[in-house]
A = this chain, B = another copy of it.
Amino acid sequence: MLSIGSFSKVANITTKTLRYYDEIGLLKPCYVDSDSGYRYYDVTQLETVLLIGRLKAYDFSLDEIARVLQGRADSALLLELLADKKARTESLVASYADMLIQIGEDISNLERGSDIMSYLNDISVKLTETKPMTIVFIREKMNVKDYGKYMRGLYERIAEEKLTPLGAPISIYHSEEFTPESYDVEIAVPVKEAVKGTRDFPGALCAKATLKGAYDGIPSVYAKIREWMEQEGYTIAGACFEVYLTNPAETPEGENLTEVYIPVRKLA
């Protein structure tokens, strides 16, 4: 039986942490004096604490670790969690690699004396009149990460109903606010046939800019268009939409082309 202090020393964990683990039920002392409330640990608990430490080093949450300790008997759960963690970590490392490339570019830009946001100057905004189209569409309040799912659903419908696509897919943003959990988005594809489940998409005067590269550059394009509108004296006159000229599944990330349109009206 070890007091919390001596246990903490052997286990290389602070007493604070041990009390916290007791509180959340991750590691209960094997005996608690009912008079004094003092916690006492057994040497056999050191093995548990070592396992906790190892899993923590693998970035598991205490909740996941608790589940592993619960089902300590079957290693199947642990095996599954480890395999999952390995896969996640690998993709995390890959995203860090991208990030390092980006930081490197920013650093060399800064060293050449240009501003870190100077890439915005390469985005050029033009005024255009869009043509009216017939579109097949899904409009729903969706979680932004389910976007691809809805898009696939729409293309399935086009195939089922034997419609003839006339252009690249579009998303139209009806919401007035950014709410990633439940965003009012309409996903659409222009088609030849004007049947049930399609609608008219009227032409409009729009400010337009094209993004080349990954989708996380989209906010920059919106920012640039809004700045341009302000300068030129236009105001927003309808729901913004984006046209995806390339298929992200088939295109290297840096080569994606996306057009951003904001319907505009000249200020009085």
> What residues of chain A have their CB less than 8 Å away from a CB belonging to chain B?
2, 5-6, 8-15, 43-44, 46-47, 49-51, 53-54, 57-59, 75, 78-79, 82-83, 85-86, 89-90, 92-93, 96-97, 99-100, 102-104, 106-107, 110-111, 115-117, 120, 173, 175-180, 216, 218-220, 222-223, 226-227, 229-230, 236
Contact = CB atoms under 8 A, between A and B. Distances in A.
A118 to B, nearest CB: 11
Contacts of A227: 43-44, 46-47
A92 B96 contact: yes
Contacts of A100: 86, 89-90, 93
B223 A9 contact: no
22 contacts: A5-B176, A6-B236, A8-B177, A9-B177, A11-B223, A14-B178, A14-B180, A43-B223, A43-B226, A43-B230, A46-B222, A46-B223, A46-B226, A47-B117, A49-B223, A57-B99, A58-B99, A78-B116, A79-B111, A82-B110, A86-B100, A89-B99
Contact of A9 (B50, B53, B58, B178): B178
* Copies of this chain: 2
Contacts of A99: 57-59, 89
B218 A120 contact: no
A110 B80 CA distance: 11
The 3 closest A-B CB pairs, nearest first, are A46-B223, A5-B177, A8-B178
Given A10-B222, A10-B226, A53-B219, 19 more contacts: A6-B176, A9-B175, A9-B177, A10-B223, A11-B222, A12-B178, A13-B178, A43-B227, A43-B229, A46-B219, A46-B227, A47-B223, A49-B223, A51-B116, A54-B116, A79-B111, A86-B107, A89-B99, A93-B93
Given A46-B227, A120-B47, A82 B103 contact: yes
Contacts of A120: 47, 50
B53 A79 contact: no
A219 B179 contact: no
Given A14-B178, A47-B117, A176-B6, A97 B93 contact: yes
